[in-house]
Each structure stands twice: as C-alpha cells, then as structure tokens.
Amino acid sequence: MITASDDTQIISQWNVAKGNQELELIGHDTSIVDLQVTPDNKQLISLTSDGRLIEWKLDTLPARKAFIGHRDEIDDIAVSQDGRLVATGARDRTVKLWDAHSGEILIDQSLKGFGVHAVAISSDGRYLAAGSDTVCIWDLTSRELLREIPLHPAGGVIEFGVRTLCFTPDCQTLFVGLHRNAPDLEKSDGKIVAWNCKTWDVVPAWNKVLPEGIWAIEASSDGKRLYTGGTSKMISIWNVQTAEKLKTLPHPGWVVTMTLSPDEKAIAAGFWILKGNDSQSAPILVWNLTDHSLIKQLDGHNRGAFSVDFSPDGRRLISGGTSGDLCFWDTERWEPKAWMELPLSGWVLATKFSKDGKSLFVTSGSQSEQSQMLRLTID
C-alpha cells in the first residue's frame, strides 16, 4: 500500500500484512494531492498542489535477500571487488565468508577475543582479514587460514582490541586500528599498526601508540594518504610513507564510521556523542578534502549514524542509523532522497555497496539468534 502525507510531503510504502512502513520516498516540497500507480504496477506518479509531477520506478525499489547465520550483532561487512563474495564479522566471535548471490557460507570460523569487529577483503581478491584480539588472514583461493597475527605477548594481558582495518588499494599493506580494552573507553588510548602483505612483518613507522582509540580507517587510491577517526573527536590525515600527521578535521564526538567519495574529493563521517553511558543525536559531517572545509552537515537520524558508504558512482551516500533506519542522500544537493525502515532490530551497524553499485549490504545490531545481513537490490 502507498500513501502520502500533506504535512511532510513524503510518500510511504507499507507492508499491509505486517502493518509496518517499509520505505519513504522524498522529493516533493509542497503538498501531494494525488497518487497513481500504472496498470503494470511498475511506476508511481505523484502530483503536488503546484502542478509538479514525479515518476517513481516501483520495480527498481530495493528487493531483499536475507543472510542468516550469526548469533549476535554483526559489526562489519567487506565486499570483494568482483561482487561475488561478502565477509562479515560479529560479536558472536565468528567471521563468515558468503557467496553474495546464493547466501552459501564458504568460511565460518571462530576467533579469540570478545568479538570480530572488523573485516576487509584485498582489492586483488587474494586475502580476507578479520580482527578481534588477534588479526587473522585467509587465502581466498584455497579458503585456508594463512596466518594468525598476535597483538599481545603469549599469556599476557589483552590490552588492545581491533576496531577497524583496511588494505591499501595496491594490496601491499594492511592497516589496523586498535582501541585499548579499559573500563572507561572514552579516556583510553589506541594504536595504528601496519603489516607488509608480502612478508607479514610490521611496518616500522606504523606501530604507533596514540592518545585515542581508532574506530575508522580509509586509504587513498594512490596509497599516499591514510584517513583515521576515533575517540579524539577528529579525522586525522596521514602521510603513509612517513607516518606524519598532515591535517585534522574536528568533530563533536567519536568518529565511528567514515567513507571516501569515489573521486576522493570528499569524506563523510558519522560520529557518536557520549553523555554518561548514553549517546545523543549526532549528524553526519561531509568534508571537502581539497580545502578541508565543511561541505554539509546532514541531519535526520534520531541518535546518529553508525555506518556510511558512498555509492561507486558517487551520486548517493547511504547512512545507517541507530534506530534501524537507512537514508539515501543525493550528493549533488546533499538532501535526503529516500528513507527506509528495515525489518531488523537494533542499530544499522554496517552498510556496504557492491563495486557495481547494484547491491547494498546492510547488517543489524540485534543480539538475537536471528542476527542477519540483508542484500538490497539498488537501481
């Protein structure tokens, strides 16, 4: 069922059987006076009081496929360059590799520690990396565990946990961001560590203890810049070769998610504002990486966004909220184009487009036996 609101100028699609709203279509700025669906049910025509018409393609609204297997919150997603494989890491301490189309589980392995918070697939499709209290590397050709890299002395205290990791686009280096396991996470420190992917030795310049936990890492396509965010309430821009910090971009809260635009002219970050043991509403900030000016502050998620990702063509930014909602932002005007309420409980902890932009993978923050990843088909 499709309805429209005069007050909000929003069109809503409803699941009649379940009685819940599934999708919001945003595009009008005056009252909607009429809705008509074409006889083939493929298009919706909306008319406003000022005579404006918008044609919506109903057959290209997201179709869904569920990937069920994790038993706790799914914290991260990685998609292979060819779109055939998807990796997930969850708080049930497992990393899984899925066939992106059939949903078949190809790797299912438990790791040491309190949960798998980060996964990455190298752009050449050779390696899968996952992090908890150790960093594990799989050979994706044989699907065998290649090595387990300890982060702590054998039998020693587990001081740091992996929060984020990424391969450089040339697949030469694996960067890992860590946060110290401490009662007061807001005041604890962290590290950035890098490994050479040929020898798996630590890169000497990149074994840095920092006064912040690192929750987000992105590498530039030329491998010259590294972008990090975390509990120091800023994005830091680094020279990869020298490990020198070049610039910082301030934020009002923890930077928990970050994404580079495909042309690398902008970076978007979602953050968390802590007040006691609770979090407050927080917008998404989009920065210009040429002059380091703020492009736009994106408001809309009630308690902030925990995941963001640009579409491969750069025309959309997707953000996942702590209320189980998704927003599709138009990056030309930086306005919301559609809101979607997902059939998932809890926070949207991770969102990731496939490289062709035709699929969007989304994970829930549910602590139930039915924690799942959804694949949405995108026009």
Query: Is the domain of 222 the same as that of 323?
Result: yes
pLDDT, tens digit, for every residue of 208-245? 889 999 999 999 999 999 999 999 999 999 999 999 99
Please determine, for residue 269, whether its predicted confidence score (pLDDT) is greater than 80. yes
Q: Write out pLDDT tens, residues 6-23.
A: 665 667 767 666 566 656
User: Are 49 and 72 found together in one domain?
Assistant: no
* Short-list 115, 141, 129, 133, CA closest to 87: 129
Whole-model pTM over 0.85:
no
Whether the CB-CB separation of 223 and 170 falls below 8 Å is answered with: yes
In a shared domain, residues 82 and 178: yes
Please tell me the number of Cα atoms within 13 Å of 85 on its side-chain side.
Answer: 21
Same domain, 93 and 235: yes
CA distance linking residue 269 with residue 286, whole number of Å: 7
Structure tokens, 311 = 């579409």
In sequence order, what are the beta bridge partners of 298? 284
CA distances from 349 to 5, 256, 345 (A): 30, 10, 11
pLDDT band for position 59 (cuts 50, 70, 90): low
Dist CA 255 CA 113 (whole Å): 23
Q: How far is CA 175 from the centre of its chain?
A: 17
- Same-domain status, 214 and 321: yes
Cross-strand bridge partners of residue 24: 12, 339
Annotate 208-269 with three-state secondary structure: EEECCCEEEEEECCCCCEEEEEECCCEEEEEECCCCEEEEEEECCCEEEEEEECCCCCEEEE
Tokens of 297: 């502050």
User: Are residues 224 and 318 located together in one domain of the fold?
Assistant: yes
High-pLDDT (> 90) share of the chain, %:
55
25 and 114 together in one domain: no
State whether 50 and 119 are in the same domain: no
Domain boundary pick from 40, 60, 80: 60
Q: Give the β-pairing of 234-239 and 244-250.
A: antiparallel
Long-range contacts of 243-251 (CB under 8 A, 24+ apart): 243/205, 243/206, 243/208, 247/292, 249/285, 249/287, 249/292, 251/285
Q: Tokens 């949405």, residue?
A: 376
Question: Within this chain, do residues 221 and 342 fall inside the same structural domain, yes or no?
Answer: yes
**CA 53/CA 18 separation, integer angstroms:** 30
Domain boundary among 60, 78, 100: 60
We report the CATH number of the domain holding residue 80 as: 2.130.10.10
Confidence of residue 57 (pLDDT cuts 50, 70, 90): low
Domain count, the chain: 2
Choice between 133 and 293, residue whose per-residue pLDDT is larger: 293
Domain around 182 = 64-377
pLDDT band at 61 (very low <50, low <70, confident <90, very high): low
**pLDDT, tens digit, 9 for 90 and up, residues 173-194:** 999 999 987 767 666 789 999 9
Residues 124 and 103 reside in one and the same domain = yes
56 and 69 within one domain: no
- Is 285 found in the same domain as 323? yes
Per-residue CA distances from 37 to 1, 106, 244 (Å): 11, 42, 57
| Model pLDDT, residue 53 | 61
Domain end marker among 60, 87, 102:
60
